[in-house]
Structures are given as structure tokens and as C-alpha cells.
A and B are shown apart, each in its own frame.
Chain A
Amino acid sequence: MISEDIRTFLARIFLGKARVHSIGADRRSVSARGIARKVDTRPLRSPQRALGSTLLGAGMDARVKGFSLPGGAFAGAGELVKSLTMVISAGVTLRQCPVTRYEAGPARGVKWSSVRSVRALGRVSGLPLEIRNRLQWHPGKPRGAEQGDSVLALYYPVMENGLNKSIFNKDSGTLLVWYNPLKAWRVRGLLLVRNFSSGSELKWRWTDV
């Protein structure tokens, strides 16, 4: 503890040397700054981003939805990436894609609209039935072969009474037949034979298998 005399002495020496500043309302306010930094994340993807598409079934169109990046802090992001800027400025057009159906979501959840199923019985009604040669599997000589016959083919099963028309396809060795559904009920085999006793003629003979 210092005495009063010394305090008075020192006060006289330093009197007026210690400046005291005052802060008025017109002066700058004290600002407190933290050292933490905020990280700005800027996506490098295209501002036009396809979120998903919906397949439209028979039309097979793709509906592509998109949006632009928001402005504000990210307004210049697109310009920073040259390739994106070029794509955008070139005027990208989203073409229709022949997608039958597609919805956003997991692959298993993708659901296409039903495909059109066309009834066309007339398309096949006019087509002939193709009967194969079964001779190689027939045990022994087929019944119905006559004296002098050499059996070349056995066509089975053939509707004997409902046979409207038949054509022998020489290329494939098959028999093309057209039936009358109302009359076709009796099943038989049809032999193709070469008869040597009558000048090697080709003949057709019905047989039971």
C-alpha cells in the first residue's frame, strides 16, 4: 500500500498523460467476428435436371420433368462450369423417348401400362396345319399299302372327312392341310407311296394307324 504523499506525487507527474476515449453513437460499433467458416456447396450438374419420367403405354412417350437451380447464392454456379453453360446455351431439346411406361422409383416398382392385345382369329384360321412325315417312327410296314407299293411317307394325324384342301410341300416334305371344322372328326393316316406295278406313279392312300 502506497502512502498518500507518493500517490499525490505520481498524480502530479502523470496528470493529463492518460487519455480517456469515449465512444459515441456516431462512431462505429464494435463488431464481434467468429472464426468459423461456412462451406458453400455448389452442384456441378446441369441446371436442367430430369427428375424422372412417366411411361405412357401405347403412346410410348416419355414425359421428362425438370427444374432450374434456384437463384440467390447459386446464381452463378452454372456459369462456372463451362460445359454446362455450353449445353444450356445451345438450347437442349428433350426429345420424346419411345418408352412404354416408366415411373420414378425402384426398378421393381416400374409399372408399364398394359400392352394392347389384339384378337385376330382370322389371321390363323386361314393358315394350313402342317402335318409331318411319321414314317420313321412307324413300326413295320404301314397298313393300307398295296402290292407293289413303296411307302415314302406317312402323314398322321389327318382328318379324313373334313379335309378341304391339301398341298404337298416338296421342299419340307410336309403336308399342308385345310380343314372344315364342321366335318373334321375322323382321324386317319395318309400314305404317300410309289407304286411300281403301275409305272412308278406317286399315289396317296388312307390308312389307319
Chain B
Amino acid sequence: MGVSSHFGAKHLGYVLVDGSEGVFRGAALVADFRGIPADFRYTDPIKPSRIEKILYGGALDVYLREELILENIVNAVEVQPVMWICRDADLLESLARIAKARAVLLAPTSRSPLDAAGDLERQNDPGSYLVQADSVSAPLRMSLPLTRTKEEEARAASAILVEAAATMDLLEPFSRIVKALSALGEEQGDQ
């Protein structure tokens, strides 16, 4: 791989909202194409009471995840990424609506690699594609929001992913977010 002069110029945004064990919290990590973080935001945990769960039912989960937490952390980020990436299908449409940049869902697959880096393979689900981001990994499943399912959109998003994958592991930042949130949760639990 050669030298690239634009490391740090472009960023990817990773967003995660966790609602396990009845406590909701979210985080956003903006990293450059090397995976080096440029901005990180997290929300204080929100624990709805039993009364609220009864009052709001299933709407509570959706509201907390997709509007309250997601909207706040995405809008709070100061370093704007060229693309937002989530791994939760429930967040994709809201993320696409809120974010100023492109939004995609990325998920790992166990499929055999496609022929070459940059190859796209349309899947049965609308807006869903297999993307071969680099030559030494399994293809990723990329889902576009329902408002942007055209193949040109997929190609544009794929080009960004291929460029970033040359210098970083595209899904790795999610594990760092999980670790950071876990550490924060332990700290707040100790207090």
C-alpha cells in the first residue's frame, strides 16, 4: 500500500445505541480513515421507570433509541464524517434523516470474497448490497436507507468504504465504542 496524504481529512462516523438491561445509552465515534478517533460522544444512561414503560409501551424504546439518544449524539458531534455507519437496522432510517452525511448499515458476513475490492452484489432486500471493501476479508453487507436505494447511491457509498478499508478495519470502531461504554458504565456503577 502506498502513501496517502489525506489521512485525517476524511472521517467515518460510527454510532451505537444500547438498550440492554433496561438502561439506554448511546455513543458516536468519529474516526479518520486510519481508525484514529477525532471525536467521541456518549450519552448519560437513561433508565425508564416501570411507570414509564407501562405508560409508553413499545413506543418508549423507539423514542429513546431513535430520537432522543441518536439525534443528540449525532448533532453533538463537531467533526463531521463523510459517512455515518450503524450496525442496528432500527437506527438506519432515523440516522439517514438526522445526519447531514450519508448513512449506511454495515454488517459482517461469512460469504466468500467477491472477485475484487470495490465489487458490489445486489441482494434481495431493497437497498441491500454485498460490498468487497478490500481484498483480504469477507464481503460486508451494506444496507442503504429506503429513501436512497438506487445503485448510484450504493456505488458512491461503496467507494468511500473501499477507500477507508485500505487503511482501517471498517467494523473495528464498533468494538472500541462498546469497550468505552462498558468502561464508563463500570465507573458510574462504582460511584
Most buried by A among B7, B29, B34: B34
Residues of A within 8 A of B180 (CB): 120, 123-124, 127
Selected from B49, B55, B73, the residue in CB contact (under 8 A) with A98 is: B49
Q: When A and B form their complex, what is the total count of cross-chain residue pairs whose Cβ atoms lie within 8 Å?
A: 131
Contact B138 A187, beta carbon cutoff 8 Å: no
A130-B172 contact, Cβ under 8 Å, with A124-B180, A185-B4: yes
Contact A208 B1, beta carbon cutoff 8 Å: yes
Contact B49 A124, beta carbon cutoff 8 Å: no
Interface size on B, residues (CB 8 A): 51
A157-B1 contact, Cβ under 8 Å, with A115-B68, A184-B34: yes
CA distance A187 to B134 in the complex (A): 13
Residues of B within 8 A of A159 (CB): 34, 167
Which residues in chain A, 83-140, are within 8 Å of chain B measured between CB atoms? 97-100, 102, 107, 110, 112, 114-121, 123-125, 127, 129-132, 134, 137-139
A119-B68 contact, Cβ under 8 Å, with A129-B172, A157-B169, A186-B1: no
Residues of B within 8 A of A134 (CB): 136-137
Contact A130 B175, beta carbon cutoff 8 Å: yes
User: Does any Cβ of B come within 8 Å of A154's Cβ?
Assistant: yes
Residues of B within 8 A of A154 (CB): 136
Residues of B in contact with A (beta carbons under 8 Å apart): 1, 3-4, 7-8, 29, 34-44, 46-49, 51-52, 55-56, 59, 63, 68-69, 72-73, 76, 78, 113, 134-138, 166-169, 172, 175-177, 179-180, 183-184
Residues of A in contact with B (beta carbons under 8 Å apart): 58, 60, 62, 97-100, 102, 107, 110, 112, 114-121, 123-125, 127, 129-132, 134, 137-139, 154, 156-157, 159, 179, 181, 184-189, 208-209
